[in-house]
């Protein structure tokens, strides 16, 4: 029996270009677990390694991956699964997570422009506490200028929504307005996350794609942010799009997936809890 006969239907494929987070709650680890839970063959190309420092208030220790190594990963991935590869399932959906430096942003921009991707989901990570403030600002500006215009779907959290929209967001109406501004800026579908940051008993996110506006709401699970929630939400959107869902369908599925993961979150010796991607099946 041939491999083709064994696997007559190849799974959808998704790539995450992201950083490793050593405790496993966020970053590329969260992305791969999300892809697996949602029935997608996941691939990761690492951009950096982040480890929290328990001796320094659990701040980030940030180590970038060499640019040639990043480029080599992207070359191998697109050669194996890109449109010209002859693969059973073609890689046309990618999630962008932590990039971490202007140099990495330029490397990834080149790959995105030549990769033939139909769906580019951007989780616009605008802060890394292990970076110097000036470097972080340069990275933020490069991300907005070089990656945001290529995105087809953007998933900013409360802080990132304020930064991208130039607004202060205190209410759901504010979040709606911010989502519209971010769409106008990027042309992408937007899932702006209020999470636990807005007052009230509901964790509210806003979807807007230029035509459809939908408020996605679930009861809050606690009042403290959970590690990996943002990564997993964007990864769940990515998985949905890879399987052919519409952006709104992908957003709805992702919201439910993350809510169940927060309900079944994992505790550790760190001063934060982590979303469990297997929580939906618990």
84 C-beta neighbours (distance < 10 Å), count: 9
To which residue do tokens 């964007």 refer?
234
Please, what's the b/e burial string for 51-67 (b: 16 or more CB within 10 A of its CB; e: otherwise)? Answer: ebeeeeeeebebebbee
CA 174/CA 211 separation, integer angstroms: 18
According to DSSP, residue 128 is labeled: -
Half-sphere exposure of 54 (CA within 13 A, CB side): 7
CA 152/CA 197 separation, integer angstroms: 25
Phi and psi of 271, rounded to 5°?
A: -80, 35
pLDDT of residue 6: 44
To which residue do tokens 């990656």 refer?
147
Where do the structural domains in the chain lie, given as residue ranges? 13-265
To which residue do tokens 């982590």 refer?
274
Q: Using CA of residue 274, residue 278, residue 280, residue 282, what is the dihedral sign?
A: negative
As beta bridge partners, residue 195 has 204
pLDDT of residue 132: 47
Q: 10-residue block means of pLDDT along the chain (282 residues)? A: 52 98 96 98 97 93 96 97 88 96 97 94 76 67 96 96 96 98 98 94 97 97 93 98 98 98 96 94 70
Let me know if 38 is exposed, middle or buried by CB neighbors in 10 A (0-12, 13-18, 19+). Answer: buried
- Tokens for 147, please give them: 């990656």
Residues present in the chain in total: 282
Asked whether 75 and 85 are in contact (CB, 8 A), the reply is no
pLDDT of residue 84: 81
Asked whether 135 and 99 are in contact (CB, 8 A), the reply is no
| Cα angle 182-122-266, degrees, rounded to a multiple of 5 | 115
Entry pTM: 0.94
* Of the options 3.30.1330.10, 3.20.20.450, 3.40.1190.20, 3.30.70.100, the CATH number for the domain spanning 13-265: 3.40.1190.20
Asked whether 14 and 95 are in contact (CB, 8 A), the reply is yes
Q: Which of 82, 108, 106, 89 is nearest to 97 (CA)?
A: 108
pLDDT of residue 133: 44
């Amino acid at each position: 029996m041939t491999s083709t006969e064994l696997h007559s239907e190849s799974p959808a494929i998704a790539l995450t270009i992201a950083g490793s987070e050593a405790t496993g709650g966020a970053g590329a680890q969260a992305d791969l677990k999300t892809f697996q839970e949602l029935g997608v063959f996941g691939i990761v190309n690492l951009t950096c390694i982040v480890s929290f420092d328990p001796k320094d208030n659990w701040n980030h220790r940030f180590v970038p991956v060499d640019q040639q190594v990043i480029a080599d990963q992207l070359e191998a991935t697109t050669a194996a699964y890109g449109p010209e590869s002859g693969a059973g399932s073609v890689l046309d959906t990618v999630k962008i997570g932590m990039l971490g430096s202007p140099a990495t942003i330029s490397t990834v921009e080149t790959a995105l422009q030549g990769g033939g991707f139909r769906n580019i989901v951007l989780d616009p990570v605008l802060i890394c506490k292990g970076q110097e403030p000036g470097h972080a600002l340069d990275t933020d500006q490069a991300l907005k200028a070089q990656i945001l215009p290529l995105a087809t779907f953007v998933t900013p959290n409360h802080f990132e929504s304020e930064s991208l929209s130039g607004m202060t967001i205190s209410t759901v109406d504010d979040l709606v307005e911010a989502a519209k501004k971010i769409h106008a800026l990027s042309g992408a579908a937007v899932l702006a996350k209020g999470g636990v940051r807005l007052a009230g008993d509901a964790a509210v996110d806003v979807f807007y794609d230029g035509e459809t506006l939908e408020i996605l709401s679930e009861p809050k699970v606690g009042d403290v942010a959970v590690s990996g929630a943002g990564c997993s939400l964007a990864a769940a959107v990515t998985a949905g799009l890879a399987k052919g869902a519409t952006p709104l369908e992908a957003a709805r599925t992702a919201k439910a997936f993350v809510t169940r993961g927060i309900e079944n979150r994992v505790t550790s010796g760190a001063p934060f809890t982590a979303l469990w991607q297997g929580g939906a099946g618990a």
